[in-house]
């Protein structure tokens, strides 16, 4: 999937008044993905979320940084460390920092998050992609480029999760192309303590349920009692 829809949503006030009460009835952990264009945006948003009855915040650092020439906060060690440290000052809840894969060395932003007090990191967000209509000679997307997600990005995501697992000591939430239990196990072997499913839900709304069943089948097949026993246990050649 190649998309360029941005991160449009009704805002934190609407979320607090309408979405959160319903979510609280669903008996699930509630982790809010927070995005912004400036450090001040992130800080003010997390001040509000700190008072909310939620289980944690995922700081989305793949957003445009208006004050830095539309770069992403998540592309540098310094950028990630700065915004994470500022948010950490106002947020008492568990903090996950979501990293962009559009970098030369994924371990540097991950270290920036860890050193600034993040409780975990999540990766990867979408890869930057482009598609061109050969008849009109124009890009298919109005924004020219967009975020590439789905099964095609999994090998990149698994590699980055492994690299980050070797560089930091905080938990990793792995994502990128997971559509079944085998995919999830692959991420865990690479070093992810938990996994997340995005584009797979567009293919099949039961992807998450089936992935859990697949993990259970793998555990039974290999006589694994605790799934944590396989985290980071890939045996390199």
Q: What is the pTM of this model?
A: 0.94
pLDDT at position 69 is 60
Q: Is 63 a catalytic residue?
A: yes
Using an 8 Å Cβ cutoff, are 142 and 157 in contact? no
User: pLDDT per residue over 10-30, tens digit each?
Assistant: 999 999 999 999 999 999 999
Q: How many Cβ atoms from other residues are within 10 Å of residue 55's Cβ?
A: 12
pLDDT at position 196 is 97
ω into 98 cis (within 30 of 0): no
Q: How many Cβ atoms from other residues are within 10 Å of residue 71's Cβ?
A: 13
Mean pLDDT to the nearest integer, 75-89: 96
Is the pLDDT score of 150 beyond 80? yes
Going from N- to C-terminal start, the domains of the chain cover 2-175
Mean pLDDT to the nearest integer, 1-9: 87
The mean of the pLDDT values for the chain is: 95
CATH homologous superfamily of 2-175 equals Aldolase class I (3.20.20.70)
Rounded to 5 degrees, φ, ψ at 21 are -60, -40
Query: For residue 111, what is the enclosing H or E element?
Result: helix 107-115
pLDDT at position 41 is 92
User: pLDDT per residue over 179-193, tens digit each?
Assistant: 999 999 999 999 999
């Amino acid at each position: 999937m190649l998309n360029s829809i941005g991160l449009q949503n009704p805002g934190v006030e609407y979320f607090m008044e309408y979405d959160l009460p319903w979510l609280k009835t669903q008996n699930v952990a509630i982790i809010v993905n927070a995005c912004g264009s400036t450090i001040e945006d992130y800080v003010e948003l997390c001040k509000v979320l700190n008072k909310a009855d939620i289980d944690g915040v995922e700081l989305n650092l793949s957003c445009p940084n208006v004050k830095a020439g539309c770069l992403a906060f998540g592309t540098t060690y310094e950028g990630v460390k700065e915004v994470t440290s500022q948010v950490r000052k106002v947020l008492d809840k568990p903090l996950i920092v979501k990293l962009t894969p559009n970098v030369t060395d994924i371990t540097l932003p991950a270290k920036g998050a860890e050193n600034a007090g993040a409780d975990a990191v999540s990766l990867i967000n979408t890869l930057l992609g482009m598609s061109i209509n050969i008849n009109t000679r124009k890009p298919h997307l109005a924004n020219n480029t967009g975020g590439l997600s789905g099964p095609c990005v999994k090998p990149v995501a698994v590699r980055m999760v492994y690299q980050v697992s070797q560089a930091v000591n905080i938990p990793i939430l792995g994502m990128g192309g997971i559509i079944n239990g085998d995919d999830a196990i692959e991420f865990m072997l690479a070093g992810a303590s938990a996994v997340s499913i995005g584009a797979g839900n567009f293919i099949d709304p039961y992807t998450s349920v089936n992935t859990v069943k697949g993990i259970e089948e793998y555990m039974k097949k290999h006589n694994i009692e605790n799934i944590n026993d396989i985290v980071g246990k890939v045996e390199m050649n």
